[in-house]
Amino acid sequence: MSNSQAFRIPRIGFGWDSHEFKPGIPLKVGGVVLPHHSGLAGHSDGDVLLHALTDALLGAIAAGDIGTYFPPTDPKWKGADSAMFVREALRLVDEAGYVVGNIDSTLILAAPKIAPHATAIQQKVADLLGIEPSRVGIKAKTPEGMGTDNAAIAHVAVLLAEISWP
Residue 43 is predicted with a pLDDT of: 85
pTM of the model: 0.93
Residue 73 is predicted with a pLDDT of: 86
Residue 7 is predicted with a pLDDT of: 63
Low-confidence ranges of the chain (pLDDT < 70): 1-7, 165-166
What domains are there in the chain, each with its CATH number?
11-162 (3.30.1330.50)
Residue 6 is predicted with a pLDDT of: 52
Residue 56 is predicted with a pLDDT of: 98
Residue 139 is predicted with a pLDDT of: 98
* Rounded-to-integer distance, Cα 41 and Cα 128, Å: 22
Residue 1 is predicted with a pLDDT of: 43
